[in-house]
A = this chain, B = another copy of it.
Amino acid sequence: MLSAKEFSLRDKFGTYNGMEVVSVAKGTAVARFEVKSQHKNGLGTVHGGALFTLADLAFAAASNCADDMVVSIHAGMSFAKACTEGILTAEARELTRSSKLVNYEAKVCNEAGDIVAIFQGTGYIKNKTAERKS
């Protein structure tokens, strides 16, 4: 099982965008980033793509932390609150797991604890014996 730090480093897109996985355990993980100018959209608020990426990163860290390799097959996000600064945190949590499929939810919150975005992800367990070498 990869540590939070190891998982973060492997995820190039998250790293490039200043995101890191801060904790990971069976069926749950937390990721975060500090909002900077580069995370904004044309309206001056945090880009939906940045919020989605953060939640997807937490989903991947949580669902891949065991022996399974999970690939996302569908994800949806509802955007509840525009935000412009501070640290945003996504906490992913497993809702169901069968032999082939997992369902996760993740909530992205601001520092005040308000829900900024709600993520729902479905993953396909591709290979239970996949070796992931460093």
Query: Which residues of A come within 8 Å of B, CB atoms?
Result: 7, 10-14, 16-17, 37-43, 47-50, 52-54, 56-57, 60, 64, 69, 71-82, 95-96, 98, 100-101, 103, 105, 107, 115, 118, 120, 122, 124
Bound CA–CA A79/B52 (angstroms)? 14
Q: Is the interface of A mostly helix, strand, loop or mixed?
A: mixed
Cβ contacts A to B, 28 pairs, < 8 Å: A10-B42, A11-B42, A12-B40, A13-B17, A13-B38, A13-B49, A16-B17, A17-B17, A43-B69, A47-B53, A47-B56, A48-B52, A49-B53, A52-B56, A71-B79, A72-B79, A73-B73, A73-B74, A73-B79, A74-B76, A74-B77, A74-B78, A74-B122, A76-B76, A80-B96, A96-B118, A103-B115, A120-B120
The reply to whether A39 and B13 contact each other, CB–CB distance below 8 Å, is yes
Instruction: Evaluate whether A75 and B100 lie within 8 angstroms (CB atoms) in the complex, with A12-B41, A13-B39, A17-B17 already known.
Output: no
Bound CA–CA A81/B56 (angstroms)? 17
The reply to whether A7 and B96 contact each other, CB–CB distance below 8 Å, is no
Copies of this protein, total: 4
The reply to whether B120 and A101 contact each other, CB–CB distance below 8 Å, is no
A101 to B: closest C-beta gap in Å: 6
| Most B C-beta atoms less than 10 A away, residue of A12, A57, A60, A81 | A12
Given A13-B40, A16-B39, A74-B78, 17 more A-B residue pairs with CB atoms under 8 Å apart are A10-B41, A11-B41, A12-B39, A12-B41, A13-B17, A13-B50, A48-B53, A49-B50, A72-B79, A73-B74, A74-B79, A75-B77, A80-B103, A95-B118, A103-B115, A103-B118, A105-B105
